[in-house]
């Protein structure tokens, strides 16, 4: 949509001016709020203090999967809901079958086999340094995407049921773990001492698989054809 | 502190740019992108503002941002899928404004 | 309640059960209807568990992960939360039963509806119990995305437009909220509401984030002038979805506004006045727009716009006798959920029966589906604030607090708004008694659809009789 | 008569009327109907006294006082005679309806005579008035309907005046007559005047005082003879009785009211004759005669109001007058009805003789009941003063006029033998004769001894005779002088005289008003404005839609979000 | 809670529950419907008799639950409410019988009778309301339950009439609500008390006057006070039993009863008179009386003429209470009952004419007395009652109204009554005359054959009964147990003597 042929109703100069002014005002407000007044120390101290009990050595991972694991649980729900939503829009649109470029094919042959490897590393690294399930899943999904755009569309031709099982696995396992620890008077997601690391890994692994499938599922933009 | 402020400032800038585009651009893809940009801005602001207190790096905002990013990706994906469907269904990747609204009043479900 | 039931962590289950149900319905699309309905009952049961816990034991708190604020996230079930949970449970169950019947002719939609709806329910329950502003952001997004997807489920062009507009609004609102979260964390180093309440000290540091958050939430609530996304979305969605959106989803963001307000208790007359004015504008604008609609569902959707306005009238009235004004507003929110849910369900039944929802073509609906029309009428009565109904009690409380403070103008607004409501409700009812000139093919409507609508509407009316027991639950929550 | 007796008298006609409504009981009821007044005729002879009936109406008191005892039996007797004549005058197809009205009116008439307080009296009065409507319009002709309309309008006006006056009275005393009369003593003059005025007008309509009499000459001729007989003989007396009941006659001196009433009465007496003379129908002439006679009775009430101490005499005279005139006029009306039909020579002779006797008596001729009544009235006058000097000559004049009018009656109603094939049944004639005889004799029996004595002397006879003779001469003169005769025949006064002109004027006014209202309705500004407003609705709807469209533009939403957020922060900070 | 508390509730339930069941009955279940209807009506009367006996022995019947914080939902049986409840119950029975006959073979009877019962339930509730809020609840519920009856026929005209009806009544409800709220904010209570609860509180008279105005306008809509009366003639499109009920018992009376409650039990008559609000109200009522009669004069449609007559007659009640004297109170309150019986008779008869002969217009009444003597007799009695001719009850009301007005020196009222009587006569007597004394036409507009009877007995019995009652209560007005007797008892309480 070029600005030369603006349809009627496209904003005019006045609107832009007003908008600019308002944005400036808003920016000024936020800036003032940032600069003026006290700055709270944050929670790094608390995190550091609780880190040993968290089952993860990386503070971010500890926050992500333990201290604020509930956020992540819901985040998985958001992801799953998104893919359910996208699938609910209808069957996956058919991408015009074009002959993929040889460059892509060549690259694929290198990258796709590498992806699981990188994925596994990221997953493992997550507990101690930057990394984790999402990053790992994303890499895996990227491989899937590459695979799809090269003309092979596994997700489309794959039976839907296994894929959906895979999609729910992340949230399902997470939820199962979160609930499973509760008997014995513990709260939701209150990992028993000592088991925290293992449980986090379990959750992360399942999440990785799911995230990969979800991202790929989101990419194809609709439900597999054999879904009712 | 200063780098944190820089991050926060950049985040704010991205927010402004995002709002600008969201308001002024009609094409839905641009709007989705604008939201995405705004999202990034907000995350930057969260991290930057959270870090302004100095001291060791605060992992909590970072974790929040990761969660936020995933949420944002989900939303973006859904939005894009919708844009695609709208383009298919109506032949136009834009929201109906004044004129088309009347049409919708009449026949929409 | 036997002991083992009492010992169950109902707060958690109210969130986990719908999530599990969503997953189950998703992986078993052929059995989605059965699974969905079963999990709906379970979810509602869990919500009832929370309510009973509250009644027997008082406000409940649950520190997820055992960490507690500020490191961890707390779940809290106080009076306000359980009212909202209970409301969602009742409306949710009704809509679920209705949807079970409604989706029988649409085998391709049912497997999509149930997971999304259960996600939505989980998000609602999570939202109502969360005491953590960032966690609230995630729940808001979960709620928003599933709601958008539910709207898009219809599949038609207008529905997609409606969904898209809704999505953009929802995201924009969430982002504004998120900016507020960022600034709050910056200023106070925590995202826990209780701690924030202790630490917040007013000034620009509170004003800017709170302003951003409230504005974003107003956008999501659909308060005038942000209502423009609401009628397209609610009006074009499938009937059960519309019922959920209008009944529950907009209440969630309103709930959040209230929660923030009760947490920070901002001073000053300005913002309450602004909110009140917007509310008043919403009442008039929504009602007038509802009056000119030709389609039933759009009328009902605009009615939501108007009714949402009432909820905000409490702000300028909360000065001297906050208890009464807030009670009124919350009670209105509750009864609106029931009534509007019933109304949309009734509208859906009418549409199913006649294949259309043109108001002046209603064609003897009174004879063909008396139960549905009764549901619509009862819901309308509650909306219009006619006694005896939940809406009446809510409006009464607002009116009384207005009159007690000598703020007659607000009373006048409430009263005139009620008249306008009655006008558009009875416009529909009037046409239901007449015969249409055109012939419409008629379809059977399952009894379950009619009865759920009616029972929900009766619920809205019955709310008018339980106020003396329901309102004390709010003790200690209101500022 | 005790309460049960009075009740029986009142209820008996009602019971018969109710029986007429039931098909099975109808034949028996028809036969029984004429005899319904019998209890009222007989019972007063055996029982006396008053009784309170607290459960009836607003606490009723029934019984026969002096007035009731004097009036009820003759009245009932008149009803009885009239009732016996009904089958002859009313065709079988309408007889049931007529009888119901007749019986109900009868019951009302008895009730008002037996009532001893205002509410019951009013009930009887209303019952009688409304039911008589059915008697008036019985013929079903256009003329009857017109008369009926006139009648009912006047009745309603009268009732309203009466009830208003009674309310005003009742507001300051109990509802029994004595208390009401006594309350005038303590009442403010203004209030008294108001009450008296209202009652005068309200009952004056019934009594047919000049200016309110218009219905009378319209209604009496169109009704069947028995109905006219009771209307003129019994019912119009109710107005007079009411005055006796409610006016403080004999208790309080109200000279100006007395004078006014006397003047009104005398005026009515003359006016009735003057308006009646040009009439061409026997029953119309009789009706005007009633008006005129009622005028004389009004004079009596006037005397009573002006001279309380004379009241006992006046009242006695008035009662005689009422009985005499009632029965006589009843018989005349019945006779006129009979004379209207083909008669055998014998019947014609009988009727002619009766008419002459009746006329003489009515004009107060020598040895007549009428003379007794009139003398009684004269005795009631104060012994000295203006009244004493002025009234007697006027009474003489009235006798003369009455005689003239009755001559006119005899002229138009003279029974003639026609064909002679069908003659009225002997029973009918016999009944009529009995009635006439009673009318002639009864005054002698009722009147005070002094009056009676005064009436029999030769001087009295002479004094009574000369106005009659004068009238006769006058009439003969008119007949003899062709010019006068022509002039007299040219004078046309419609029955109802001035009332007809009044009616036409009112109708014209109503039509004009109606046209005016129509014009307002068509061109009224309110309606036009409403239409203009209605035309605005679609335009407003378009505007509303457009505004809503503007609001839905994203640019607007975005801007507004910023505005709200900034102002919220501003207002908070 | 004792049985004393439950009895008022049972009285409500005796029509509510049959009503609800009737909704669910299929159209063909005639016998069931009739049984339920009549059973409910008889049961209600039975319960009321029990309650009357109780009240006579000093039992306090009160049902009370909290409704909104600080205010209870109160059903209370006092003398005044029993007056109205009994009126409703008795006339409900009559109307039910009538409606069964009237609606024979017409569609949607279950719906009709369902709403019919609801309507009575709300009226009874309204009568027993123990405070202003409860009153308001039933007042609005009454609007809602009558609306379906008004639009019952489902024609475009009916829909429009329904719209007008709602526009007025809802507006009235809103005004009442505003007044109630305001009053509660001022006084903190809404409980009806003999001689008023506002009395004795030290409040700003100007404010109280405004509250009074709001409240009276609120109930004035239903009481059809000019200029709030326009809905009433339009609502005539409803079936005859509905008109009968609307005019004689439910809606219009609810308004009038509201006036009574507000003046006597909210403000207290003496206090209201002190405030100076009664005189304007009396004047307004007087204007309504005259205006309604004048309009009635020009109506060609029989039911519309009756409707305008109602406008006029109902204001007698308002006038009576506004005159502010014990005797006028008796007149006004008695008219509450008296007008009910007379007007319901008139509507029954009008319905009979329409249903039996298709006669709707005044001009079509010619000679109808021959064809339908019993109906016309009932009509005549009621019409004479309206005019105020003894011994029909209308006279008793007028008598007391007039005396009451004179007692307190409001002489002008008497002339208003006189004028109204004249006008009443002017628009009723021509009907009576035409019916009895004109020849019948050769053919009636739409005659239905009932064999040797003039019409169906279920149509005939109710008007005869009500006409007879109207006659008897006038004739035996002073007997114990008549409405007048009861009303005198009430008036004594309201004046604290």
Is pLDDT of A222 > 90? no
C293 phi-psi bin (left φ>0, alpha ψ -120 to 50, beta other): beta
**Mean pLDDT for chain D?**
84
Q: What is the pLDDT of residues A47-62, one digit of tens each?
A: 888 888 888 888 888 8
Query: What is the torsion angle, in degrees rounded to the nearest 10, for the CA atoms of residue D123, residue D124, residue D130 and residue D131?
Result: 130
Radius of gyration (C-alpha) of chain A in whole angstroms = 23
The average pLDDT across B51-75 equals 88
Task: Give the lowest-confidence range in D113-117, D244-248, D284-288, D392-396.
Answer: D392-396
Question: Which pLDDT score is estimated for E444?
Answer: 83
CB neighbourhood size of C440 (10 A): 14
Is pLDDT of A158 > 80? no
Tokens representing E273 are: 């008179």
* Chain C contact set for B79 (CB, 8 A): 164, 167-168, 171
Tokens representing C253 are: 């963001």
Q: What is the pLDDT of residues E184-207, one digit of tens each?
A: 888 888 888 887 888 777 788 898
* Chain B contact set for C161 (CB, 8 A): 86, 90, 95-96, 104
Instruction: Give the closest of B28, B35, B109 to C172, CB-based.
Output: B35
CATH number at residue B25: 1.10.287.3510
Alpha carbon distance A59, A57 (integer Å): 6
Residues D276 and D405 sit within 8 Å (Cβ to Cβ): yes
Nearest Cα to C261, choosing from C428, C97, C479? C479
Alpha carbon distance E432, D168 (integer Å): 30
The count of CB pairs under 8 A between chains D and E is 87
Q: Which residues in chain C land under pLDDT 70? A: 1-2
Contacts of C409 (CB under 8 A, 6+ apart): none
Is pLDDT of E356 > 90? no
Instruction: Give the closest of C137, C164, C294 to B28, CB-based.
Output: C164
| Full DSSP string of A45-73 | HHHHHHGGGTT-SSHHHHIIIIITHHHHH
Question: Which pLDDT score is estimated for E26?
Answer: 83
Does D225 share its domain with D347? yes
Band of pLDDT at residue B104, cut at 50, 70 and 90: very low
Q: What is the pLDDT of residues D552-564, one digit of tens each?
A: 888 888 889 999 9
Q: How far is CA D303 from the centre of its chain?
A: 22
Report yes or no on chains E and A touching (3+ CB pairs under 8 A).
no
Residues A43 and B60 sit within 8 Å (Cβ to Cβ): yes
Band of pLDDT at residue D524, cut at 50, 70 and 90: low
Is pLDDT of A136 > 60? yes
Tokens representing E482 are: 């008549």
Alpha carbon distance E110, A159 (integer Å): 56
Structural domains counted in chain D: 2
Asked if B102 lies within 8 A of D549 by C-beta distance, the reply is yes
Beta bridge partners of C76: C61
**In C28-109, alpha helices (H):** 32-57, 79-102
Mind telling me how many Å the CA of B56 is from chain D's nearest CA? 31
Residue D156 at interface with chain E, using a CB cutoff of 8 Å: yes
Q: How many helices (H) and strands (E) does chain A have?
A: 9, 0
Is pLDDT of D420 > 60? no
Question: Which pLDDT score is estimated for D62?
Answer: 83
Mind telling me how many Å the CA of C229 is from chain B's nearest CA? 11
Chains that touch D (3 or more CB pairs under 8 A): A, B, C, E
Q: What is the pLDDT of residues E449-476, one digit of tens each?
A: 777 778 888 888 999 999 999 999 888 8
Q: What is the pLDDT of residues E35-54, one digit of tens each?
A: 888 898 899 889 888 888 88
Tokens representing C420 are: 């306008």
Nearest Cα to C125, choosing from C12, C23, C228, C230? C12
Query: What DSSP character marks residue C133?
Result: H
Does D244 share its domain with D366? yes
Alpha carbon distance E61, B25 (integer Å): 71
Residue with tokens 């339920």: E36
Alpha carbon distance C277, C102 (integer Å): 39
Alpha carbon distance C90, C95 (integer Å): 9
Contacts of E252 (CB under 8 A, 6+ apart): E222, E223, E224, E232, E246, E310, E314
Question: Which pLDDT score is estimated for A155?
Answer: 47
Radius of gyration (C-alpha) of chain C in whole angstroms = 21
Higher pLDDT, C181 or A187: C181
Residues D137 and D145 sit within 8 Å (Cβ to Cβ): yes
Mind telling me how many Å the CA of D546 is from chain B's nearest CA? 7
Alpha carbon distance D152, D424 (integer Å): 33
Alpha carbon distance D116, D1 (integer Å): 12
Question: Which pLDDT score is estimated for A159?
Answer: 64
Is pLDDT of A152 > 90? no
Residue E66 at interface with chain C, using a CB cutoff of 8 Å: yes
Question: Which pLDDT score is estimated for D526?
Answer: 63
* Chain C contact set for B93 (CB, 8 A): none
Residues E179 and E198 sit within 8 Å (Cβ to Cβ): no
Report yes or no on chains B and E touching (3+ CB pairs under 8 A).
no
For the purposes of burial, counting CB atoms within 10 Å of the CB of D251, is it exposed (0-12), middle (13-18) or buried (19 or more)? middle
Alpha carbon distance E137, C395 (integer Å): 13
Is pLDDT of E158 > 90? no
Nearest Cα to D245, choosing from D304, D159, D161, D328? D304
Question: Which pLDDT score is estimated for D47?
Answer: 65
Alpha carbon distance E1, D572 (integer Å): 51
**DSSP helix/strand/coil, A91:** strand
Alpha carbon distance A142, D93 (integer Å): 110
Task: Give the lowest-confidence range in A89-98, C272-281, D38-47.
Answer: A89-98
Residue B5 at interface with chain C, using a CB cutoff of 8 Å: no
CB neighbourhood size of D443 (10 A): 31
Alpha carbon distance E435, D2 (integer Å): 39
| Full DSSP string of D454-494 | HHHSHHHHHHHHHHHHHHHHHHHHHHH-HHHHHHHHH----
Give the structural domain span for D274: 3-503
Q: Is residue D261 part of a domain?
A: yes
Tokens representing C136 are: 């609230």
Interface with chain B: mutation pick from C175, C181, C359, highest number of B CBs within 10 Å: C175
**DSSP helix/strand/coil, D51:** strand
Nearest Cα to C69, choosing from C158, C130, C115? C130
| Full DSSP string of A210-223 | HHHHHHHHHHHTSB
Structural domains counted in chain B: 1
Structural domains counted in chain C: 1
Q: What is the pLDDT of residues E209-239, one digit of tens each?
A: 999 999 999 999 888 888 888 888 888 877 8
Give the structural domain span for C420: 292-479
Q: Is residue C253 part of a domain?
A: no
Band of pLDDT at residue B5, cut at 50, 70 and 90: confident
Higher pLDDT, B96 or E142: E142
Surface of B (38-67) touching C: CB under 8 A: 38-39, 42, 45-46, 49-50, 52-53, 60-61, 64, 67
Q: What is the pLDDT of residues D146-162, one digit of tens each?
A: 888 888 888 889 999 99
Interface with chain C: mutation pick from E21, E68, E150, E208, highest number of C CBs within 10 Å: E68
Nearest Cα to D4, choosing from D73, D53, D45? D53
Nearest Cα to E282, choosing from E181, E171, E412, E428? E412
Does D227 share its domain with D356? yes
Question: Which pLDDT score is estimated for C35?
Answer: 95
Measure the N-to-C terminal CA separation of chain B; round to a whole number of Å: 54
Question: Which pLDDT score is estimated for A1?
Answer: 37
| Full DSSP string of D301-366 | HHHHHH-GGGHHHHHHHHHHHHHHHHHHHHHHHHHHHHHTS-B-HHHHHHHHHHHHHHHHHHTT-T
**Mean pLDDT for chain E?**
86
Asked if A40 lies within 8 A of C135 by C-beta distance, the reply is no
* Chain A contact set for B9 (CB, 8 A): 31
Question: Which pLDDT score is estimated for A3?
Answer: 40
Question: Which pLDDT score is estimated for C23?
Answer: 95
Alpha carbon distance D273, D335 (integer Å): 20
Alpha carbon distance C195, E86 (integer Å): 63
Q: Establish whether this prediction's ipTM goes over 0.90.
A: no
Alpha carbon distance D285, D359 (integer Å): 12
Nearest Cα to A174, choosing from C471, D214, C64? C64
Alpha carbon distance C257, C210 (integer Å): 10
Is pLDDT of B102 > 50? no
Among residues of chain D, what percentage have pLDDT more than 90? 5
Tokens representing C207 are: 């004003």
Question: Which pLDDT score is estimated for E189?
Answer: 85
Give the residue on D whose Cα is nearest the Cα of E380. D130
Alpha carbon distance A224, E67 (integer Å): 56
Task: Give the lowest-confidence range in A199-208, B50-59, C230-239, D242-251.
Answer: B50-59
Query: What is the torsion angle, in degrees rounded to the nearest 10, for the CA atoms of residue C227, residue C228, residue C231 and residue C237?
Result: -110
> Domain spans of chain A?
54-220
Phi, psi of E67 (to 5 degrees): -115, -60
Band of pLDDT at residue E380, cut at 50, 70 and 90: very high
Question: Which pLDDT score is estimated for A96?
Answer: 59
The average pLDDT across E54-80 equals 84
Residue B95 at interface with chain A, using a CB cutoff of 8 Å: no
Band of pLDDT at residue D527, cut at 50, 70 and 90: low
Tokens representing C142 are: 């979960």
Does D464 share its domain with D554? no
Is pLDDT of D1 > 60? no
D419 phi-psi bin (left φ>0, alpha ψ -120 to 50, beta other): left
Give the structural domain span for B85: 2-107
């Amino acid at each position: 949509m070029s600005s030369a042929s603006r349809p009627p109703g496209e904003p005019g100069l006045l609107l832009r001016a007003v908008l600019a002014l308002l944005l400036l005002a808003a920016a000024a407000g936020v800036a003032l709020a940032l600069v003026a007044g006290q700055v709270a120390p944050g929670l790094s101290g608390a995190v550091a203090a609780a880190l040993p009990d968290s089952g993860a050595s990386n503070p971010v991972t500890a926050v992500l999967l333990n201290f604020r694991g509930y956020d992540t649980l819901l985040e998985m729900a958001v992801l799953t809901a998104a893919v359910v939503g996208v699938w609910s829009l209808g069957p996956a649109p058919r991408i015009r079958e074009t002959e993929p470029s040889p460059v892509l094919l060549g690259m694929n042959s290198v990258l796709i086999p590498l992806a699981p490897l990188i994925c596994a590393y990221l997953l493992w690294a997550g507990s101690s340094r930057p990394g984790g399930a999402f990053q790992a899943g994303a890499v895996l999904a990227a491989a899937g995407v590459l695979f799809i755009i090269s003309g092979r569309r596994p997700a489309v031709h794959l039976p839907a049921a296994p894929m959906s099982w895979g999609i729910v696995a992340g949230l399902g396992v997470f939820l199962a773990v979160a609930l499973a620890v509760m008997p014995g008077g513990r709260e939701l997601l209150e990992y028993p001492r000592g088991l925290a690391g293992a449980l986090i890994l379990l959750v992360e692994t399942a999440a990785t698989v799911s995230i990969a499938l979800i991202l790929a599922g989101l990419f194809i933009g609709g439900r597999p054809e054999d879904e009712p | 502190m200063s780098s944190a402020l820089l991050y926060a400032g950049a985040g704010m800038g991205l927010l402004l740019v995002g709002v600008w585009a969201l308001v002024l651009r009609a094409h839905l893809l641009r709007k989705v992108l604008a939201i995405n940009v705004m999202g990034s801005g907000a995350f930057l602001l969260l991290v930057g503002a959270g870090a302004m207190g100095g001291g060791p790096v605060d992992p909590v905002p970072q974790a929040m941002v990761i969660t936020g990013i995933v949420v944002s990706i989900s939303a973006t994906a859904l939005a894009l899928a919708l844009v695609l469907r709208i383009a298919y269904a109506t032949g136009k990747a834009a929201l109906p404004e004044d004129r088309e609204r009347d049409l919708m009043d009449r026949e929409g479900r | 309640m036997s002991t083992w039931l009492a010992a169950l962590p109902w707060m958690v289950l109210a969130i986990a059960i719908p999530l599990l149900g969503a997953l189950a319905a998703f992986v078993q699309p052929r059995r989605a209807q059965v699974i969905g309905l079963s999990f709906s009952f379970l979810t509602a049961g869990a919500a009832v568990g929370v309510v009973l816990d509250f009644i027997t034991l008082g406000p409940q708190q649950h520190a997820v992960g055992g960490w507690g604020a500020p490191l961890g996230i707390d779940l809290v079930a106080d009076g306000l939360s359980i009212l909202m949970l209970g409301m969602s449970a009742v409306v949710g169950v009704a809509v679920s039963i209705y949807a079970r019947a409604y989706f029988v002719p649409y085998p391709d939609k049912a497997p999509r509806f149930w997971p999304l709806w259960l996600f939505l329910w989980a998000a609602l329950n999570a939202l109502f119990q969360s005491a953590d502003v960032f966690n609230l952001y995630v729940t808001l997004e979960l709620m928003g995305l599933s709601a958008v997807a539910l709207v898009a489920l219809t599949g038609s062009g207008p529905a997609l437009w409606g969904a898209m507009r809704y999505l953009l609004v929802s995201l924009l609102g969430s982002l504004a909220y998120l900016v507020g979260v960022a600034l709050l964390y910056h200023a106070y180093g925590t995202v826990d509401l209780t701690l924030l309440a202790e630490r917040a000290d007013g000034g620009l540091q509170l004003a800017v984030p709170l302003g951003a958050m409230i504005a974003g939430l107003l956008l999501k609530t659909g308060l005038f002038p942000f209502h423009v996304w609401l009628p397209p979305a609610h009006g074009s969605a499938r009937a059960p979805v519309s019922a959920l959106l209008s009944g529950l989803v907009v209440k969630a963001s309103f709930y959040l506004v209230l929660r923030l307000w009760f947490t920070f208790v901002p001073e000053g007359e300005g913002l309450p006045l602004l909110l009140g004015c917007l509310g008043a504008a919403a009442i008039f604008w929504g009602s007038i727009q509802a009056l000119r609609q030709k389609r039933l569902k759009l009328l009902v959707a605009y009615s939501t716009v108007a009714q949402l306005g009432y909820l905000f009238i409490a702000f300028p009235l909360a000065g001297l006798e906050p208890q009464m004004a807030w009670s009124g507003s919350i009670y209105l929110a509750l009864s609106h959920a029931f009534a509007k849910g019933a109304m949309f369900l009734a509208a859906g039944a009418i549409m199913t029966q006649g294949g259309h929802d043109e108001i002046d073509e209603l064609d003897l609906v009174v004879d063909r589906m008396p139960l549905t029309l009764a549901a619509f009428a009862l819901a309308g009565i509650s909306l219009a604030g006619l006694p005896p109904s939940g809406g009446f009690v809510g409006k009464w409380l607002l009116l009384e607090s207005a009159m007690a403070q000598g703020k007659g103008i607000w009373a006048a607004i409430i009263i005139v708004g009620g008249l306008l409501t009655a006008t558009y409700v009875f416009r529909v009812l009037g046409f239901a008694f007449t015969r249409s000139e055109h012939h419409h093919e008629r379809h059977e409507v399952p009894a379950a659809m009619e009865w759920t609508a009616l029972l929900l509407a009766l619920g809205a009316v019955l709310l008018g009789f339980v106020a003396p027991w329901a309102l004390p639950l709010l003790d200690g929550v209101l500022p | 008569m005790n309460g049960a007796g009075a009740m029986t008298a009142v209820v008996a006609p009602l019971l018969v009327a109710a029986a007429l409504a039931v098909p099975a009981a109808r034949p028996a009821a028809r036969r029984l109907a004429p005899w319904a007044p019998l209890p009222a005729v007989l019972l007063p002879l055996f029982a006396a006294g008053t009784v309170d009936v607290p459960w009836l109406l607003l606490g009723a008191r029934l019984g026969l006082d002096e007035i009731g005892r004097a009036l009820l039996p003759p009245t009932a007797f008149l009803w009885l005679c009239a009732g016996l004549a009904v089958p002859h005058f009313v065709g079988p197809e309408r007889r049931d309806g007529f009888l119901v009205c007749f019986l109900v009116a009868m019951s009302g008439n008895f009730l008002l005579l037996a009532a001893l307080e205002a509410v019951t009296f009013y009930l009887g009065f209303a019952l009688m008035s409304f039911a008589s409507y059915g008697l008036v319009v019985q013929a079903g002709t256009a003329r009857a309907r017109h008369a009926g309309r006139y009648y009912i309008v006047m009745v309603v006006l009268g009732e309203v005046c009466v009830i208003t006056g009674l309310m005003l009275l009742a507001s300051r005393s109990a509802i029994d007559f004595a208390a009401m009369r006594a309350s005038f003593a303590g009442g403010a003059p203004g209030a008294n005047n108001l009450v008296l005025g209202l009652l005068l007008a309200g009952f004056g309509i019934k009594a047919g005082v000049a200016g309110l009499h218009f219905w009378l000459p319209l209604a009496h001729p169109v009704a069947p003879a028995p109905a006219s007989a009771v209307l003129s003989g019994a019912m119009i007396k109710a107005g007079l009785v009411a005055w006796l009941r409610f006016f403080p006659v004999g208790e309080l001196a109200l000279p100006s009211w007395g004078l006014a009433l006397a003047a009104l009465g005398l005026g009515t007496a003359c006016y009735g004759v003057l308006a009646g003379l040009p009439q061409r129908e026997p029953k119309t002439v009789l009706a005007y005669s009633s008006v005129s006679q009622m005028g004389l009775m009004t004079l009596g009430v006037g005397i009573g109001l002006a001279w309380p101490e004379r009241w006992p005499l006046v009242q006695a005279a008035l009662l005689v007058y009422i009985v005499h005139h009632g029965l006589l006029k009843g018989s005349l009306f019945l006779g006129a009805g009979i004379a209207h039909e083909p008669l055998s020579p014998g019947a014609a002779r009988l009727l002619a003789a009766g008419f002459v006797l009746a006329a003489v008596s009515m004009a107060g001729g020598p040895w007549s009941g009428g003379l007794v009544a009139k003398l009684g009235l004269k005795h009631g006058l104060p012994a000295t003063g203006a009244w004493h000097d002025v009234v007697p000559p006027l009474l003489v004049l009235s006798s003369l006029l009455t005689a003239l009018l009755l001559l006119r009656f005899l002229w138009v109603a003279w029974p003639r033998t026609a064909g002679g094939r069908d003659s009225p049944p002997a029973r009918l004639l016999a009944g009529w004769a009995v009635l006439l005889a009673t009318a002639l004799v009864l005054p002698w029996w009722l009147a005070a001894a002094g009056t009676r004595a005064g009436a029999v002397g030769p001087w009295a006879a002479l004094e009574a005779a000369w106005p009659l003779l004068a009238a006769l001469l006058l009439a003969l003169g008119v007949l003899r002088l062709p010019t006068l005769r022509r002039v007299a025949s040219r004078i046309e006064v419609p029955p109802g005289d001035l009332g007809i002109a009044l009616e036409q004027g009112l109708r014209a006014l109503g039509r004009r008003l109606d046209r005016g209202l129509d014009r307002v309705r068509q061109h009224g500004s309110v309606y036009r404005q409403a239409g203009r407003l209605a035309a605005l609705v679609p335009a407003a709807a378009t505007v509303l839609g457009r505004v809503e469209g503007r609001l839905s533009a994203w640019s607007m939403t975005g801007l507004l979000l910023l505005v709200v957020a900034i102002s919220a922060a501003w207002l908070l900070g | 809670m004792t049985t004393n508390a439950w009895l008022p509730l049972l009285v409500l339930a005796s029509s509510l529950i049959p009503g609800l069941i009737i909704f669910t009955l299929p159209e063909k279940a005639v016998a069931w419907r009739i049984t339920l209807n009549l059973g409910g009506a008889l049961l209600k009367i039975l319960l009321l008799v029990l309650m009357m006996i109780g009240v006579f022995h000093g039992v306090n019947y009160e049902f009370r639950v909290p409704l909104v914080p600080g205010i209870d939902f109160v059903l209370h049986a006092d003398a005044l409410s029993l007056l109205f409840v009994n009126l409703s119950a008795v006339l409900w029975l009559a109307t039910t019988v009538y409606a069964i006959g009237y609606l024979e073979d017409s569609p949607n009877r279950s719906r009709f009778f369902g709403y019919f019962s609801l309507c009575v339930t709300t009226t009874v509730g309204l009568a027993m309301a123990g405070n202003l809020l409860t009153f308001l609840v039933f007042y609005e519920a009454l609007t809602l339950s009558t609306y379906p009856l008004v639009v019952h026929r489902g024609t475009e005209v009916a829909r429009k009439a329904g719209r007008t009806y709602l526009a007025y009544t809802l507006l009235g409800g809103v005004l009442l609500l505003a007044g109630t709220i305001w009053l509660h904010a001022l006084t903190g209570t809404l409980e009806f008390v003999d001689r008023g609860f506002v009395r004795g509180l030290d409040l700003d008279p100007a404010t109280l006057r405004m509250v009074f105005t709001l409240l009276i306008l609120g109930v004035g809509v239903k009481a059809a006070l000019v200029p709030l009366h326009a809905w009433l003639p339009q609502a005539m499109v409803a079936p005859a039993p509905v008109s009968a009920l609307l005019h004689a018992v439910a809606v219009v009376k609810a308004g009038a009863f509201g006036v009574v409650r507000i003046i006597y039990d909210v403000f207290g008559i003496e206090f209201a008179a002190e405030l100076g609000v009664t005189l304007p109200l009396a004047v307004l009522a007087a204007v309504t009386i005259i205006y309604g009669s004048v309009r009635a004069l020009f109506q060609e449609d029989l039911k519309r003429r009756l409707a305008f007559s109602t406008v006029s007659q109902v204001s007698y009640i308002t006038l009576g209470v506004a005159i502010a004297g014990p005797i006028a109170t008796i007149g006004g309150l008695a008219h509450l009952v008296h007008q009910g019986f007379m007007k319901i008779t008139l509507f029954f008869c009008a319905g009979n004419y329409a249903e039996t002969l298709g006669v709707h217009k005044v001009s079509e009444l010619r000679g109808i007395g021959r064809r339908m003597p019993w109906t016309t007799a009932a009509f005549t009695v009621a019409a004479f009652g309206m005019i105020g001719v003894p011994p029909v009850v209308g006279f008793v009301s007028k008598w007391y109204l007039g005396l009451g007005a004179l007692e307190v020196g409001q002489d002008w009222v008497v002339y208003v009554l006189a004028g109204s009587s004249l006008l009443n006569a002017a628009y009723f007597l021509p009907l009576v005359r035409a019916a009895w004394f004109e020849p019948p036409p050769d053919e009636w507009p739409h005659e239905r054959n009932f064999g040797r009877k003039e019409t169906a007995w279920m149509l005939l019995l109710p008007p005869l009964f009500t006409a007879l009652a109207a006659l008897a209560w006038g004739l035996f007005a002073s007997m114990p147990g008549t409405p007048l007797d009861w009303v005198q008892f009430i008036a004594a309480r309201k004046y604290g003597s």
